[in-house]
Amino acid sequence: MVKLENMKNISLSDSVINLDHGDPTAYEEYWRKIGDRCTVTIRGCDLMSYFSDVNNMCWFLEPELAEAIKELHDAVGNAATEDRYIVVGTGSPQLCQAAVHALSSLAGTQPVSVVAAAPYYSTYVEETTYVRSGMYKWEGDAWGFDKKGPYIELVTSPNNPDGTIRETVVNRPDDDEGKVIHDFAYYWPHYTPITRRQDHDIMLFTFSKITGHAGSRIGWALVKDKKVAKKMVEYIIVNSIGVSKESQTRTAKILKVLKETCKSETENFFEYGHEMMKNRWEKLRGVVKESDVFSLPKYPEAYCYFFGKTLGSYPAFAWLGTKEETDLVNELRRHKVMSRAGERCGSDKKHVRVSMLSREDVFNVFLERLANMKLIKSIDL
């Protein structure tokens, strides 16, 4: 029997829990302990100008944030920052849209096809269809995509929703018309072993999934090609004339503390996050094993250069499947658990995406409801 701890929160016992969004509140406790070291004071007269650095092509990027980003990637070893432009965005979806816009506007013919291998991050669909641009067209699943002409493949690794390590799947190595945007939102040591220093043309990162500060809405792109970076900057200027300086200042401060503590024995955030995720995954796997109804993907172990040892993967989302012929999102909803339907991710009704980043009490209620689902189902039959 799986032991469910911390089940004291009576007020949660009957309410609907929302694990559809990946709201990363799981990390609040760590930052509470860090206390005032991340506190930022901003006076009324501070940060008033639109401009951050007129000598930078991305003139709305705060130099201290650029520095903090480079130092963090250097310390973690997950991505190359040299000889690249940093473009800051209001969350990484703005940057993804800016990159799709930039690559499409530089393509010979339009609309440019945009694809991602299923199961994919469902927000890509909205990002590429919502404004009904004539410059690009969402073409869905990249597996089996063989349309002629320019295309953009969105590669998410580790993947949202299923946590797998991904490479491109549209196999046209010599095709100049094929472009790739790598979304590395989860390529951080608490989720997955850092096996290499990524070195791609366009790499997207988001503050929210590293530390949990989703509310700051800060993302960044590391871009090799100056023309692409310039077009992305133009897009952000048209879209929001830059990015909040208050948010950038706070992000810079927190990333700096993150970097300073990331080799510490007692305060290493990645160690903390890794232990928490590992613990949650072990509990979830325990419930799934006992249920006989559900399934979860298995992940291979790999040597992590950041931690200096071989480790497993503990993704930010669980890609929960069922062996029954059932609409899993509805089944979970019946048990007051909101999740993201597999169909929205280009998959099927038998899969859902469940956030692993909720607060501890919510996560434990989820486990309890999942453990009881088999029971309710067998009573139903």
Name which of 91, 32, 123, 90 is nearest 359 in CA terms: 32
Q: Among residues 92 and 322, whose Cβ is nearest to ligand PMP?
A: 92
CB of 186 to ligand PMP, least distance (A): 7
Out of 78, 133, 157, 208, the residue judged to bind ligand PMP by CB under 6 A: 208
Is 158 or 371 the residue whose CB approaches ligand PMP more closely? 158
- By C-alpha distance, which of 333, 340, 357 is closest to 280? 357
Q: Give burial (CB, 10 Å; 0-12/13-18/19+) of 195.
A: middle
Does 202 interact with ligand PMP (rule: CB under 6 A)? no
Binder among 113, 133, 160, 261 for ligand PMP (CB under 6 A): 160
Query: Do 85 and 236 meet the contact criterion of CB atoms below 8 Å apart?
Result: no
Q: Provide, rounded to whole angstroms, the least separation between the CB of residue 114 and ligand PMP.
A: 14
Answer yes or no: are the C-beta atoms of 170 and 142 closer than 8 Å. Answer: yes
Q: Rule CB under 6 A: which of 83-112 touch ligand PMP? A: 91-93
Gap between the Cα atoms of 201 and 315, Å rounded: 24
Find the binder of ligand PMP among 22, 163, 193, 242 (CB under 6 A). 22
- Residue 141 has which token pair? 């699943």
Angle 269-291/360-380 helices, nearest 10 degrees? 10
User: Under rule CB under 6 A, which residues in 170-189 are in contact with ligand PMP?
Assistant: 183, 185
User: Does residue 214 touch ligand PMP according to CB under 6 A?
Assistant: yes
The yes or no reply on residue 248 touching ligand PMP (CB under 6 A) is: no
219: contact with ligand PMP by CB under 6 A: yes
Residue in the structure block whose two tokens are 């018309």: 177
Q: Does 158 contact ligand PMP by CB under 6 A?
A: no
**Residue 206 touches ligand PMP, criterion: CB under 6 A:** yes
Task: Report how far residue 68's alpha carbon sits from residue 40's, in angstroms, rounded to the nearest whole number.
Answer: 15
For residue 177, the minimal CB distance to ligand PMP (Å) is 24
3-state helix, strand, coil in the chain (%, to 5): 40, 20, 45
247 touches ligand PMP (CB under 6 A): no
| Alpha carbons 155 and 150: distance in angstroms, whole number | 16
121 interacts with ligand PMP by CB under 6 A? yes
Q: Give residues in contact with ligand PMP (CB under 6 A).
A: 22, 91-93, 121, 156, 160, 183, 185, 206, 208, 214, 219
